[in-house]
Chains A and B, each alone.
Chain A
Amino acid sequence: MALAAPALTHLQLLEAESIHILREVASEFERPVMLYSIGKDSSVMLRLAQKAFYPAPIPFPLLHIDTGFKFREMIEFRDRMAAAVGAELLVWRNEPAIAAGTNPIALDTKRCCGLLKTQALLDGLNHYGFNAAFGGARRDEEKSRAKERIYSFRDKAGQWDPKNQRPELWNLYNSRIHPGESIRVFPLSNWTEMDVWQYILQEDIPIVDLYFAKDRPMYVREDSLLPIEQSFVARPGEQPRMVRSRLRSLGCSPCTGAIRSDADTLPKIIAELLSFRSSERANRAIDHDQEGSMELKKREGYF
């Protein structure tokens, strides 16, 4: 009989579960794809995909839904990472909407996201015929996400029906779908924001520099720090200031505020997280528009 082995840590257990999910999907679906959003969760998901298939290459492409409002550093990082892991990178943009000048200031954030993210995502998946898409969403991010299955069934229009989800028992995932239907898969479902940071620290996973505190030019509006990017529209008389700051989560530049911070290393980011009193999505405009706005967006096909 084997000697008593040391208990596995929570990160080892989460990793084992995520790898199992990645392998299941890659083996049961004809056309899987990994939605790669460049943020810390995507960085962890990408590393897990490397681990799941090692020494073979990642057996599916990465797809980035580009709104045209992503920070320049994000795009550079994306291209570097895809090359480094040897994965095929696809980029999809809702070009007609971008050409028509869609932005969150002219429209409201909800309609802007609807066009540049949700519509672009559905079109991109459709265009390539992907029937299973990995996303880096976590259940601890938001209340409607807390109810999401690991395999989230979507109808022909890519929509989620939260009242009628397939039961999901043990580690037995139902991968059966009809033509035109699809599954969104969330291998990081059971990870918390803290788990993600600790794993990044433990595994030395590269992340975009915007997560680390630095002196950056910012427009300061009331409590908000607004990073300067090409799309930024300053108010008359408004002047940028250098502020020691960082981004807590990466979104589109017009809708992602920075936070004042001195955290320029991973341990400092983790320490800062422990002292926070608001959740990570609090600095994203999209979730606040309306009570239950994330659930509404997800019903429409958002991640």
Chain B
Amino acid sequence: MPISDAILNLETERPLEDGAGGSRSSFLAKDDTRDLLRFSTAGSVDDGKSTLIGRLLYDTQSVYEDQVRSIEGKGTTGAGSFDLALLTDGLRAEREQGITIDVAYRYFSTANRKFIIADTPGHEQYTRNMATGASTASLAIILVDARKGVLTQSRRHACITALLGVPNILVAVNKMDLVDYDEEVFNSIRVVFTAFFDQLGDLRPPHLEFVPVSALTGDNVVNRTTAMPWYSGPSLLEHLQSAPAAEGGASDAFRFAVQRVLRPNHDFRGFAGQIAAGTIRPGDPILVLPSRRTSNIRSIVTFDGDLSAAQAPQSITLTLTDEVDISRGDLIVAPECAAVATKHFTASLVWMDEKPLELSRRYLLKHTSRTVQARVTAVQHRLEVDTLERKPAVTLNFNDIGLAEIESIQPLVVDKYSTNRITGSFILIDPVTNLTAAAGMIRETNIEGHPTTTNAITAENRAARWGHTGVHISLTGSTAFVDAAERTLFLRGAFVVRPDSLSQETLAALIAAGALVLTNTTSDNQTVTFGEQRAAVTNVDDLVHFLEAHAILRGGPRQ
């Protein structure tokens, strides 16, 4: 049935019935037991994401007639018909340009599950919005256009989704109607894409499924189709219905970040927060981090009465059997399975600010309910998301993804992201612009006081020896000025390198080795440039101050 006819049929009543759509009785019951699945959708522009979501909403009776009427005759499907994509493309700019700029959230329900869809944009410049959508999803649908196969964008999205730890990935091979529902087309896409996922190694999602669909006609979206007898698997909605709604959670080691201390009177002192993992009961022993104080749970307090148990991700208030000094930002954990308190860790970063990462700068790092100052001390590599190649890099630019070393001023209590997406994640905020600069996922932690036993030399070791971090500084001025600058730095013990010509690779290698790489242009004006920072300098002292202000040079002259 052509789509326009299908929608015009809305004229006739379409009562909800038990079955594929909603269950009337479950909506009416006070003890409704539906659970919740958050999923994101991703794909290249025009692969049919918006149409697919429109189709899911439409076929599960989740859109109202006036919403359908408001898109009549608009969009790309021509006069007198309905472009289902317009049900989700909400912003004016999007309707004008016919593309999706930002994440749109959509909701629908079936008899036993509520769904939250994060419909994410396909364009590369909106990668950060895609990461936003994927960060809370427990399932991701990645669309592939059957005619075009696996594209750069498809691989990009697959990589980001996996990086953000989405455990279930469902590849919807769309527009099967345009390839005569050909099994070969579907199979070859599956082979190619599976090979790509296998390359992800540790990051490969534990559950990967493929389903052939047509968003436009509805084949295999909600209902199984007869158009592809060679496919005997579930429809897309059936997959969504049966996927695990949340990761483990309740059976993992207890994690609870204190958001707020509640002291309504002298007799009550409660710690309010949301359980990040595990289950807790009155009497359970707990450990407070980073202070390492111990106590036991006295009660689990809620507005609806005390609970005999609570599990992730409930929001509760805990009282303890002892007077323990606890404040916002502390983590209450199961003592036998504590998280790691550390100032140093390795993390994947998705760089989200148009201003590139600056190694010398302090950022604000927000982790659970704690915000601290932190620096990115080194970039290990940049990930080429469509080929999964690791490229040497000295910084991360807008939409780059890489692995970096982070150093925080105060200790953070963390888990690896692969263990816990709440205690393993953080954001970096630019303290000047207040913009969210990066999303971080902790991959490795260095346990404080237990230095790693390898003999590898770290960026920190090098900085301690030379008195500066590895950087590229460019100067303008007379040759005499640059010579004087180089000599001053040399006398301070700096590892100064002043090459005549320089490739990006050599520069990266020198910086990784901890060198202060000086390049210069002869000019009447004396200036110094470091990353985006540029300043006029009247003499060499000025230059030294600039380098100290940007935390490149540390302390006084070295002997």
Residue in contact with B279 in the complex, picked from A5, A13, A163, CB distance below 8 Å: A5
With a cutoff of 8 Å between Cβ atoms, the chain B residues found around residue A167 in the complex are 128-129, 131-132, 352, 436, 439
**By the criterion CB–CB under 8 Å, are B106 and A146 in contact?**
yes
Q: Does A72 contact B (CB under 8 A)?
A: no
Q: Does A239 contact B (CB under 8 A)?
A: no
Residue in contact with B107 in the complex, picked from A20, A140, A270, CB distance below 8 Å: A140
Find the B residue at minimum CB distance from A168: B132
Q: Does B266 contact A (CB under 8 A)?
A: no
**By the criterion CB–CB under 8 Å, are B245 and A7 in contact?**
yes
Q: Given that A14-B36, A16-B274, A169-B425 are contacting pairs, would A274 and B105 also be in contact in the complex, using a CB cutoff of 8 Å? A: no
**By the criterion CB–CB under 8 Å, are B91 and A147 in contact?**
yes
Residue in contact with B32 in the complex, picked from A9, A51, A178, CB distance below 8 Å: A9
Q: Does B259 contact A (CB under 8 A)?
A: yes
**By the criterion CB–CB under 8 Å, are B429 and A144 in contact?**
no
A13–B107 Cα distance when bound, in Å, is: 14
Find the B residue at minimum CB distance from A27: B260
Within 8 A of B (CB), among A51-84: 51-57
With a cutoff of 8 Å between Cβ atoms, the chain A residues found around residue B101 in the complex are 162-163
Min CB distance B385 to A, Å, is 17
With a cutoff of 8 Å between Cβ atoms, the chain A residues found around residue B434 in the complex are 174, 176-178
In the A-B complex, list the 7 residue pairs whose CB atoms are closest, starting with the nearest.
A143-B90, A19-B315, A176-B434, A56-B264, A10-B114, A54-B303, A169-B135
Main secondary structure of the interface of B (DSSP, over half): mixed
A5–B301 Cα distance when bound, in Å, is: 19
Q: Does B542 contact A (CB under 8 A)?
A: no
**By the criterion CB–CB under 8 Å, are B250 and A20 in contact?**
no
Q: Which candidate, B60-68, B186-194, B209-217, B472-480, is the interface stretch facing chain A?
A: B60-68
Residue in contact with B251 in the complex, picked from A1, A144, A169, A171, CB distance below 8 Å: A1
A4-40: contact bitstring with B at CB < 8 Å (1 yes, 0 no)?
1101111111111101100110110000000000000
**By the criterion CB–CB under 8 Å, are B302 and A270 in contact?**
no
Q: Which candidate, A99-107, A116-124, A194-202, A251-259, is the interface stretch facing chain B?
A: A194-202
With a cutoff of 8 Å between Cβ atoms, the chain A residues found around residue B32 in the complex are 9-11, 198, 202
A142–B107 Cα distance when bound, in Å, is: 12
Q: Does A139 contact B (CB under 8 A)?
A: yes
**By the criterion CB–CB under 8 Å, are A162 and B264 in contact?**
no
With a cutoff of 8 Å between Cβ atoms, the chain A residues found around residue B427 in the complex are 169, 172, 174
With a cutoff of 8 Å between Cβ atoms, the chain B residues found around residue A194 in the complex are 27, 109
A165–B104 Cα distance when bound, in Å, is: 12
With a cutoff of 8 Å between Cβ atoms, the chain B residues found around residue A163 in the complex are 91, 93, 101-102
With a cutoff of 8 Å between Cβ atoms, the chain A residues found around residue B425 in the complex are 169-170, 172
Min CB distance A27 to B, Å, is 5
Q: Which candidate, A128-136, A220-228, A276-284, is the interface stretch facing chain B?
A: A276-284
B240-263: contact bitstring with A at CB < 8 Å (1 yes, 0 no)?
000001100011000000011011
With a cutoff of 8 Å between Cβ atoms, the chain B residues found around residue A267 in the complex are 28
With a cutoff of 8 Å between Cβ atoms, the chain B residues found around residue A27 in the complex are 259-260, 328, 369
Find the A residue at minimum CB distance from B259: A23
Offer 9 A-B interface pairs, CB within 8 angstroms, sorted by A.
A5-B250, A9-B32, A10-B32, A27-B259, A140-B106, A163-B101, A174-B434, A195-B114, A278-B67
Within 8 A of A (CB), among B357-402: 364, 366-367, 369
**By the criterion CB–CB under 8 Å, are A55 and B264 in contact?**
yes
Q: Does A190 contact B (CB under 8 A)?
A: yes
With a cutoff of 8 Å between Cβ atoms, the chain A residues found around residue B439 in the complex are 167, 169
With a cutoff of 8 Å between Cβ atoms, the chain A residues found around residue B93 in the complex are 162-163
Q: Which candidate, B172-180, B306-314, B505-513, is the interface stretch facing chain A?
A: B306-314
A172–B274 Cα distance when bound, in Å, is: 12
With a cutoff of 8 Å between Cβ atoms, the chain A residues found around residue B27 in the complex are 194, 198, 270, 274
With a cutoff of 8 Å between Cβ atoms, the chain B residues found around residue A178 in the complex are 434
Min CB distance B298 to A, Å, is 14
A295–B114 Cα distance when bound, in Å, is: 27
Min CB distance B23 to A, Å, is 10
Q: Does B122 contact A (CB under 8 A)?
A: no
A172–B263 Cα distance when bound, in Å, is: 25
**By the criterion CB–CB under 8 Å, are A52 and B328 in contact?**
no
Q: Does B22 contact A (CB under 8 A)?
A: yes
With a cutoff of 8 Å between Cβ atoms, the chain B residues found around residue A168 in the complex are 132, 436
Q: Does B295 contact A (CB under 8 A)?
A: no
Most buried by B among A10, A50, A198, A270: A10
Within 8 A of B (CB), among A231-252: none
Q: Does B272 contact A (CB under 8 A)?
A: yes
